[in-house]
C-alpha cells in the first residue's frame, strides 16, 4: 500500500490540520493501492497565506530568473518521466504505451519558457506605457484524464507570469499531483510559490473558489462543476479561466478520403479510452456514404488491445472509476434504447476481462441529434455517427450543441473545407487530422469554457494590464502594442 500522507505548503511536506485519508482504487484490479492525505478549508487558508507572502518577492523576479526556474523544472521532470508513467497507469488506468501523457508536459514546459523569453511585459500605445503584471495568487484545479499535462500547463504559465500557486488535483489522480509537487520541490521552487492541497471539490475546491485572497482560479473539468466554480468565484470577482466539457464533431465531407477519416476518427476519439474533452465523439458523414465508412470504423475499433495498462502491449486500459464505468455503459444502453444501430462494442464486458472498469470500444450509426449519445459528453470509448444532407446541414448539426471545445473537418478541396472550418463554433479546429501546436491557445466556445490556456494567450490569463501615463520618454523606447 502506497502512502501519501502529506500536503505541500510553504516549501514543506506537512500533515493536514485534521488528518484524514482517501483510498485510491486501481481501476484495473478494482483494489485499493494507495492512500492520500485530504486537506480541508483550514489547510487552504495556510496554503493561500504562504502563496500571498511569497508573491511579494516572486512577482518581482526577472524574466531571466523565471526562465532559469523553468529550466530546472524541465530537468527534474524529465528524470521522473518513468515514475509518472507507472503511477498514472496505476491510479487512472492510462497505458504506459501512451507516451504523450508523460512526454507532453515537457513539451509544454519548453513552450512556456519560449513564450516567456519573447513576451513584451511593457509596450507602448501612443505616449502611454502598457504594463503586464502578475495577477497574484492563483488557484489551479486540474482533472484526472490528463493528470500530469493539465497540471503542468497551469503551473508553468502561472510561474512564468510571476504568480504564486495553490494547486488541487482531482482526487482520482491525487498521487501524481504529489509527484508533481516533488518535482517542483527538487527544482527548488521558492517556498510558498507552489503549494499543493489534495482534497474534495466540495471542500477544498469550494474554499479556493470563495477565498478572498485568491486572485485567479483556473479550472479544468466538467461543465457542471465549472458552473459551480464560476458562481463561487463571482462573489469575490476573481479572474476565472474554465476549460470544460466537449462534444466535438468531425465533419467528413463527400470528397474526403473516407478510410483515412474513419480510422483517424476512431484513433482520436478512443485515445485515452475516450476520456478526452476534445474527442471527436460525433462523426458526421454524408447520408450517401455512411455504409462505406462502417467497415473502416469497425475494423479500427477492434484493433484495440484492452488489458493491464502496465503492459506495453496494451493500447486501451480501463476507464478511471466505477462511477465512470457505470455512466458510460448507461449511455451505451441509452443508444440502444433510443434506436441507434450498434455496429461494434456494447454494454457487455470485453472478453476475458471480468475485473476492472473496462469498456468495449463502441460505435453507433443511425444516430440523431436528439439522442443522449449525440448531446451528452459520454467521456468514454463511444462514437456516434450522424448523417447529413449537405454542408449547411452538417454545420447546423455540428453547432447544435451547448459545447464548443473542438472541431474537425476532413475533405479534399481546401477552399471548400476552409469555409466549413470557419463555420464551426469551437475553439480548436483541425483539418485532415493536422496536429495541434503547444504554442497555440486552447479553450472553448459556449459552455465549453471561458479563457484560454497555452502559448501567449495562456500566459496572459495570469497577467493584469496597467496603463501608465506621464512617462513619454520612457514609452518611446518600448515596442508599440499594435504593430
How many percent of the chain have pLDDT more than 90?
Answer: 98
What the block records as the C-alpha cell of 140 is 489551479
Q: Which of 243, 300, 377, 460 is catalytic?
A: 243
Q: Is-same-fold flag (2-244+448-468; 249-431)?
A: no
Say what the pTM is: 0.97
Long-range contacts of 308-313 (CB under 8 A, 24+ apart): 308/28, 309/28, 309/89, 309/93, 309/94, 309/95, 309/96, 310/28, 310/86, 310/89, 310/90, 310/96, 311/95, 311/96, 312/95, 312/96, 312/97, 313/97
Structure confidence at residue 145 (pLDDT): 97
pLDDT in tens, 40-74: 999 999 999 999 999 999 999 999 999 999 999 99
- Mean local confidence (pLDDT), 418-443: 97
Q: Determine the Cα–Cα distance for residues 145 and 1; give it in Å rounded to an integer.
A: 23
Domain ranges of the chain: 2-244+448-468, 249-431
What mean pLDDT is reported for the chain? Answer: 97
Residue 86 sits at φ, ψ, to 5 deg, of -65, -40
Answer yes or no: is pLDDT of 481 > 90. Answer: no
How many percent of the chain have pLDDT more than 70?
Answer: 100
- Mean local confidence (pLDDT), 404-420: 95
Q: Determine the Cα–Cα distance for residues 5 and 19; give it in Å rounded to an integer.
A: 9
Q: Determine the Cα–Cα distance for residues 315 and 298; give it in Å rounded to an integer.
A: 16
- Mean local confidence (pLDDT), 32-41: 98
Tell me, yes or no, if 243 is annotated catalytic.
yes
Which CATH architecture group holds 2-244+448-468? 3-Layer(aba) Sandwich (3.40)
For the domain covering 249-431, report its CATH number: 3.40.309.10
Structure confidence at residue 483 (pLDDT): 62
- DSSP state, residue 311: S
Confidence of residue 431 (pLDDT cuts 50, 70, 90): very high
Answer yes or no: is pLDDT of 236 > 90. Answer: yes
What the block records as the C-alpha cell of 483 is 504593430
Give residue for cell 493536514.
Answer: 16
- Mean local confidence (pLDDT), 168-196: 98
- Mean local confidence (pLDDT), 420-436: 97
pLDDT in tens, 253-270: 999 999 999 999 999 999
Structure confidence at residue 89 (pLDDT): 98
- Mean local confidence (pLDDT), 319-327: 98
Q: Determine the Cα–Cα distance for residues 423 and 188; give it in Å rounded to an integer.
A: 47
Answer yes or no: is pLDDT of 450 > 90. Answer: yes
Q: Determine the Cα–Cα distance for residues 310 and 27; give it in Å rounded to an integer.
A: 12
- Mean local confidence (pLDDT), 1-7: 95
Structure confidence at residue 482 (pLDDT): 81
CB 282 within 8 A of CB 251: no
Amino acid at each position: 500500500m502506497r502512502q501519501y500522507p502529506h500536503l505541500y505548503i510553504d516549501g514543506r511536506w506537512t500533515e493536514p490540520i485534521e488528518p484524514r485519508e482517501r483510498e485510491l482504487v486501481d481501476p484495473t484490479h478494482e483494489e485499493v493501492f494507495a492512500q492520500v492525505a485530504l486537506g480541508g478549508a483550514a489547510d487552504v487558508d495556510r496554503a493561500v497565506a504562504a502563496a500571498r507572502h511569497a508573491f511579494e518577492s516572486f512577482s518581482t523576479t526577472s524574466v531571466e530568473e523565471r526562465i532559469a526556474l523553468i529550466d530546472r523544472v524541465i530537468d527534474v521532470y524529465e528524470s521522473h518521466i518513468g515514475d509518472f508513467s507507472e503511477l498514472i497507469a496505476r491510479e487512472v488506468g492510462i497505458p504506459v504505451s501512451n507516451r504523450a501523457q508523460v512526454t507532453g508536459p515537457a513539451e509544454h514546459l519548453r513552450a512556456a519558457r519560449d513564450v516567456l523569453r519573447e513576451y513584451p511585459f511593457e509596450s507602448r500605445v501612443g505616449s502611454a506605457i502598457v504594463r503586464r503584471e502578475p495577477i497574484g495568487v492563483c488557484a489551479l484545479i486540474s482533472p484526472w484524464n490528463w493528470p500530469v499535462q493539465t497540471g503542468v500547463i497551469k503551473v508553468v504559465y502561472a510561474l512564468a507570469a510571476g504568480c504564486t500557486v495553490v494547486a488541487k488535483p482531482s482526487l482520482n489522480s491525487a498521487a501524481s499531483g504529489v509527484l508533481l509537487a516533488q518535482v517542483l520541490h527538487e527544482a527548488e521552487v521558492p517556498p510558498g510559490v507552489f503549494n499543493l492541497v489534495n482534497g474534495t471539490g466540495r471542500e477544498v475546491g469550494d474554499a479556493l473558489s470563495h477565498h478572498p485572497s485568491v486572485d485567479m482560479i483556473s479550472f479544468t473539468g466538467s461543465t457542471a462543476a465549472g458552473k459551480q466554480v464560476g458562481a463561487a468565484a463571482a462573489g469575490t470577482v476573481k479572474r476565472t479561466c474554465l476549460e470544460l466539457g466537449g462534444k466535438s464533431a468531425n465533419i467528413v465531407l463527400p470528397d474526403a478520403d473516407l478510410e483515412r477519416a474513419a480510422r483517424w476518427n476512431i484513433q482520436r476519439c478512443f485515445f485515452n479510452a475516450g476520456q478526452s474533452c476534445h474527442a471527436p465523439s460525433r462523426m458526421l458523414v454524408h447520408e450517401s456514404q455512411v455504409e462505406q465508412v462502417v467497415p473502416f470504423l469497425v475494423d479500427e475499433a477492434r484493433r484495440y488491445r484492452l488489458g493491464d495498462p502496465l503492459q506495453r502491449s496494451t493500447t486501451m486500459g480501463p476507464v478511471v472509476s466505477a462511477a465512470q464505468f457505470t455512466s458510460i455503459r448507461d449511455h451505451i444502453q441509452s443508444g440502444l434504447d433510443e434506436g441507434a444501430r450498434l455496429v461494434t462494442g456494447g454494454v457487455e464486458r470485453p472478453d476475458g476481462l471480468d475485473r476492472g472498469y473496462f469498456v468495449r470500444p463502441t460505435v453507433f450509426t443511425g444516430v440523431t441529434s436528439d439522442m443522449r449519445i449525440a448531446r451528452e459528453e459520454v467521456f468514454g470509448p463511444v462514437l456516434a455517427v450522424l448523417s447529413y444532407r449537405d454542408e449547411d446541414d452538417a454545420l447546423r448539426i455540428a453547432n447544435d450543441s451547448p459545447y464548443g471545445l473542438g472541431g474537425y473537418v476532413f475533405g479534399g478541396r481546401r477552399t471548400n473545407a476552409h469555409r466549413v472550418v470557419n463555420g464551426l463554433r469551437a475553439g480548436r479546429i483541425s483539418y485532415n487530422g493536422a496536429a495541434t501546436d503547444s504554442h497555440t491557445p486552447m479553450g472553448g466556445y459556449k459552455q465549453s469554457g471561458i479563457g484560454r490556456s497555452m502559448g501567449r494567450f495562456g500566459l496572459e490569463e495570469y497577467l493584469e494590464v496597467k496603463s501608465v501615463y506621464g512617462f513619454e520618454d520612457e514609452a518611446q523606447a518600448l515596442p508599440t502594442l499594435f504593430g
